[in-house]
Chain A
Amino acid sequence: MLRGKENNFRTLILALGGLFILIAFVYADTSDTFVNVYDSNIQFIQTPAEFPASVANTPINQSGIISFLATATDDGGYKYYLAVCKTDAIIAGNNAAPTCINGAWCISNETNSGEQASCSYTIQSTDTSTSYSWYAFVCNKSPTAICTSSSQGSGNSGSPFFVNHKPTLLSVNNDGSKNPGESITFSAQGSDPDAGNSLKLLICKTPGISGIDCDGGANDTYCTSLYSGTSPACSYDIPIPTEDKNYSYYAYVFDNFNLVSSNVISGSFVVKNVIPVITNISLNSGYDISLVQRGVTDVVVTGTITDNNSCADITTVRTSFYRSDIGFSGCDDSSKADTNNCYPDVTCELMTYGNKCDGSNDVSANYICHISVQYNADPTDGNSHNIKYYDQNWRAVLKVIDNNGQTSYLEVASGVEIMSLISMNIQSSLDYGAVIRGHSTGGDPVVLDIFNTGNVGIDIEIAGSAMIGEGGSIPVENQEYGISYFTYGLGTDLSENFSEVEINIRKTLLPISPSIGKLYWGIEIPANLKAGSYTGTNRVVAVLGEVDEW
């Protein structure tokens, strides 16, 4: 019996040994690879494809997404996974997603048999190659999951997919300070890791882009270049008006697949201050000026000031008004004021209608200046026979200062005349007082002051009439006159006809103090004249004096 148990034990050992040897033979044929067990029950019914399809000239941009699509069916009705691996190696997962042995681009969610599966991959910055191969598998989700053999798709949507990498902006320069109306050019230097790419330069006013444009749109954009190698450039026409100051800019480059550089370079450029321009100067609207006797005449000067930095840049506008021989240099300062020939540094004002200054977006404005011209301002009409400065005229200069202290001047294109004004003021009555008949005023003549209230030298004419009263009349020739003190009998007899008197009242030089001429009067009363009041009329006429005696 013991021998029977020993035989059974030997038989068992032999059987196990043989089984062991059998197993050894089996595994002795394998190497380091795993055995892929294919289940012929899952299969592609739609070839895997990239979406979007990428080829060399339509790559996927860095940070972009590439998707993979495929459709499969499983005879057992199991759900499946689409796995896109980096190599042709995968392990099915029992009731789980498969595993790409050397890494996956992506693996889809479980998908019903017969429905399309998809998965996506975001291109990373570490994906520095130009193209990457992919191997697509479908694996069912079963307790004993199996995968198909790989497929690399076909055509443009097949493996590999192509990657476009971001360019780098190395530097940006501009060609210096500009005036409004000029063009500033921005030049960039960039680099691109993808051979053959061209770069486009975008210059924004504020940081930030939206797509391939500045995020503020056209109003936020200085300029955009064409695609041009690695040295793109673009120009910006500085509009008029543009304020003089520093302007910031933000530069980006895009490659020809509209992939923006990873960096932005900021800088600034200067719009320079320009000198204001004076135009449309009008002096008294081009008309000659007639003054008012012993008064002030308002003479108006207008002009247009254009500043390409904007009319708001203008701080001061003044005018000087002068006789032409004096010139602006002789009338450019208030210390040179002379009512005869120079009205300097009169402040002008912005006009409140018409071409006003509407702020920093407006380029020009009209100004108006009021000059109070005195009655004694030198006349410039006439000729050498009658007017001293007949060969001159009156001119005006507009002077403009902007907020940078830049100054410009312009004289009116055509001067105007100040017309001669002949005028006098005189007391309206002459009283001899009480004179005894048969007597005269003797050595006590009555004085009549004659004030020259024009702008020329004057002489006078005199004529008179008999004095009439209740007792008769006093003949006109009983009155005598003279331009200096006289005793009656030594003066000039008054006449009913005009007689010119060379009193030579000079041209007034100070308006508050008119030149004065004195006319002395005396009278003799006829001895037989009845006592009473007697009245008459004497005429004193101002006449233009000789030029040499002004």
Chain B
Amino acid sequence: MMAPKKSYIYKFIGVILISLLIYLGPIVARCNAGDSGIGASPAYIRNDNLLPGSSFEEEIILSRSNPDKDAQAVIEIDAKDIASWITLNPGSIVSLPQGEERVSMKVSIKVPSDAKIGSYVGYLRIKLQEVSSGGQIQVIPAVRLDVNLTVVNTEYKVIKVQLAQIYDYIISDPLTLQLKIKNEGNVDAEPSKVKVDVKSLNNTPIATLESTNIPTVKAFAIDEVTVTFTNPGLVLGDYFADVYVYDGTQQLYKDTITFTVLGQSEDVTITTTGAADTTRLLGQILVIVGVILLIVSIIVGLIYFLFLKKNAKKREGSFVSLTGQREENKKN
């Protein structure tokens, strides 16, 4: 049977090891995944419907899963025929600050008005520039974005409605419909008509509002546009609205929205949710948990040895005496 003192010690060591495993596990895993890395999204820049003289902008999200130190992304343009079409914002060097997992940069493409019809290719290489960790060969990770551009002479109209919203409004104000529209075509465009069927909460039709006065969205852009209906004639209360967006006879979008008409003294609360821009790393959470367990284990261990040692000594004394007795017996 294991002596009590040793069992406590083994248990204490076990707790320490588990804590270290939790703390170091993600670090070890990260090491296994490579010391450095960089990502870019989207993985390409492509436009198959550029008109001479047109332009568009692509947002590239640069990311690092472990931004534990400042770094830079250096962008090299490798595009013989179209290098002059490309502009980088903020420039060919993008700061990647410590702690920032995502950094945005923009690539603007402006097609000369005398560009010839045809396809053009090139590359953007984005390399991660960090402080060298030493070693014989410094390995610099990078990603390559393939640039594929096609200049055409045909107008191409494609609009998509991503989202429709009607915000709560005060009764004396107009009803405002906000549309998020993505124009994937190569000409500025807008939907031809919107229709809003307003209903009570028990689906009784109340009013139908229509408008053809819809702002234009630039080619290759996504934008929020507002369609205003003055004097909609709605009394205070909650409503459903079926929103229809048309391009000619084609229905582009249909959705049901809830909104409230408020009295003069009520606050208008506009609730918006931003696009996803936060990230979590399970490893960081595990690290924190592991550290806490490690600290607790050390404290518990110290308490044991400092305050319970007396008791341990008493028991040890008896062992010693027993051992001594055995030794004496052996001599005898």
List residues of A whose CB falls within 8 A of some B CB.
Answer: 179-182, 240, 277, 279-282, 284-287, 289-300, 302, 304, 306, 308, 351, 353-355, 363-364, 366, 368, 372-373, 375, 379, 381-383, 386, 413-414, 416, 419-432, 448-451, 453-454, 456, 461, 464, 467, 512, 514, 533-544
Given contacts A290-B102, A292-B279, contact A421 B41 (CB under 8 A): yes
Q: Are B36 and A425 in contact, with the CB atoms below 8 A?
A: yes
In the complex, B138 has a CB within 8 A of chain A: yes
Interface residue? B193 (CB, 8 A): no
When the two chains form their complex, are residues A451 and B34 in contact, meaning their CB atoms are under 8 A apart?
yes
CB distance from A289 to the nearest CB of B (A): 6
B276 to A: closest C-beta gap in Å: 5
In the complex, A249→B279 CA distance in Å?
56
Instruction: List, in ascending order, chain B residues with CB within 8 A of A294's CB.
Output: 33, 37, 39, 65-66
Q: Which residues of A contact B65 (CB under 8 A)?
A: 292-295, 375, 425, 453
Complex partner residue of A424 from B125, B143, B240, B254, CB under 8 angstroms: B143
Residue in B36, B46, B162, B253 whose CB lies within 8 Å of A426: B36
Interface pair B253/A431, CB less than 8 Å apart: no
In the bound complex, CA of A373 to CA of B277 (Å)? 12
Beyond A179-B202, A422-B144, A428-B138, list 5 extra A-B contacts (CB 8 Å): A180-B202, A292-B102, A423-B37, A424-B143, A540-B141
Interface-located stretch among B129-137, B225-233, B308-316: B129-137
Q: Which residues of A contact B154 (CB under 8 A)?
A: none
Cβ of B42 within 8 Å of any chain A Cβ, yes or no, is: yes
A140 CA / B282 CA spacing, docked (Å):
110
Interface centre among B33, B61, B65, B66 (most CB of A within 10 A): B33
Bound: A424/B163 CA distance, A: 34
Interface centre among B37, B146, B200 (most CB of A within 10 A): B37
Q: Which 4 A-B pairs have the closest CB atoms?
A: A429-B135, A293-B39, A423-B39, A181-B202
Contact of B258 among A240, A306, A382, A453 (CB under 8 A): A306
- Whether A422 lies near B40 (C-beta < 8 A) is yes
Band of interface residues on B? 35 or more
What residue in chain A is nearest B224 (Cβ atoms)? A286
Residues on B with beta carbons closer than 8 Å to the beta carbon of A375:
39, 65
* A408: min CB distance to chain B, Å: 12
CA distance A402 to B137 in the complex (A): 63
Q: 27 pairs across A/B with beta carbons < 8 Å?
A: A282-B163, A292-B63, A294-B66, A295-B65, A297-B279, A298-B277, A298-B279, A353-B269, A379-B43, A383-B46, A414-B161, A421-B40, A423-B39, A424-B141, A425-B35, A425-B37, A427-B35, A428-B139, A429-B136, A429-B139, A451-B34, A456-B43, A533-B136, A537-B139, A540-B140, A540-B141, A541-B127
Contact assessment for A454 and B43 in the assembled complex, using a CB-CB cutoff below 8 Å: yes
B249 contacts A by Cβ under 8 Å: no
Contacts known (A290-B41, A294-B65, A456-B43); A431 close to B163, Cβ less than 8 A: no
B84 at the interface (CB under 8 A from A): no
- In angstroms, Cα B192 to Cα A36, docked, is 106
Query: Closest B-chain residue to A179, C-beta based?
Result: B202
Q: Are A279 and B138 in contact (CB under 8 A)?
A: no
B42 neighbours in A (Cβ, 8 Å) = 290, 379, 381-382, 419-421
Q: Tell me, in angstroms, the Cα distance from A419 to B222 when the chains sit together.
A: 15
The listed residue (B130, B201, B279) touching A240 by CB distance below 8 A is B201
Task: Find out whether the CB atom of A355 lies under 8 angstroms from the CB atom of B271.
Answer: yes
A279 touches B275 (CB 8 A): no
Smallest CB-CB separation from B145: which chain A residue? A422
Is the CB–CB distance between B201 and A306 below 8 Å?
yes
Among residues of B, the one whose C-beta sits closest to the C-beta of A304 is: B258
How many Å lie between the Cα of A514 and that of B32 in the bound state? 10
Please measure, in the bound complex, the distance between the C-alpha atom of A282 and the C-alpha atom of B102, giving whole angstroms: 23
With A300-B276, A381-B42, A424-B143 known as contacts, the answer to whether A414 contacts B35 (CB < 8 A) is no
Across the two chains, which residue of chain B brings its CB closest to A381?
A: B42
The interface residues of chain B, by DSSP majority, are classed as strand
- Residues on the B chain within 8 Å of A277, using CB: 240, 256
Q: B138: which of A179, A240, A538 is its contact (CB, 8 Å)?
A: A538
Contact present for A286 and B258 (CB under 8 Å): no
User: Which residues of chain B in 17-33 are interfacial with respect to chain A, using CB atoms and an 8 Å cutoff?
Assistant: 29, 33
Task: Determine the chain B residues whose CB is within 8 A of the CB of A284 once the complex forms.
Answer: 275-276
Chain B residues contacting A299 (CB-CB under 8 Å) are 276
**Residue in A closest to B166 when the chains form the complex, CB atoms:** A280
0/1 string, B216-249, CB within 8 A of A gives 1: 0000001000000000000000101000000000
Contact with A along B29-71 (1 / 0, CB 8 A): 1000111111111111010100000000000010111100000
**Residue of A whose beta carbon sits closest to that of B146:** A544
A520 CB to closest chain B CB (Å) equals 14
Task: State in angstroms the CA–CA spacing of A285 and B275 once bound together.
Answer: 6
Partner of B238, one of A306, A425, A449, A451: A306
**B176: Cβ under 8 A from any A Cβ:** no
Q: Which of B277-296 contact A (CB under 8 A)?
A: 277-282
Docked-complex contact B202 and A308, CB < 8 angstroms: yes
- State whether A285 and B34 are in contact (beta carbons under 8 Å apart), knowing that A297-B279, A386-B46 are contacts in the complex: no
Chain A residues, CB < 8 A from B142: 539-542
A429 and B137 form a contact (CB under 8 A)? yes
Residues of B near A298 (CB, < 8 A) are 276-280
B136 adjacent to A295 (CB under 8 Å): no
B110 contact set on A, CB distance < 8 A = none
Q: Kindly state the separation between the CA atoms of A89 and B164 in the bound complex, as whole angstroms.
A: 92
Given A306-B238, A426-B139, CB of A354 within 8 Å of CB of B269: yes
| Chain A residues within 8 Å of B195, by CB | none
Contacts A290-B41, A364-B238, A423-B63; A448 near B139 (Cβ below 8 A): yes
Taking CB atoms and an 8 Å cut-off, the chain B residues in 113-162 that contact chain A are: 125, 127, 130, 132-146, 160-162
Q: Are A451 and B202 in contact (CB under 8 A)?
A: no
Residue of A179, A296, A299, A364 with most chain B CB atoms under a 10 A cut-off:
A296
Of B40, B41, B44, B165, chain A has the most CB atoms within 10 Å of the CB of B41
Q: With both chains docked as a complex, state the minimum distance between the C-beta of A415 and any C-beta of chain B, in angstroms.
A: 9
B281 touches A386 (CB 8 A): no
For B161, the chain A residues whose CB sits under 8 A away are 414
CB distance from B67 to the nearest CB of A (A): 10
As a 0/1 sequence over residues 187 to 200 of chain B, the CB contacts with chain A under 8 angstroms (1 = contact) are 00000000000001
Q: Are B162 and A429 in contact (CB under 8 A)?
A: no
**In the assembled complex, how far is the CB of residue B19 from the closest CB belonging to chain A, in whole angstroms?**
21
B4 interfacial by beta-carbon distance below 8 Å? no
Of B101, B138, B143, B253, the contact of A537 (CB 8 Å cutoff): B138
On whether A286 and B137 interact (CB within 8 A), knowing A294-B65, A295-B65, the answer reads no
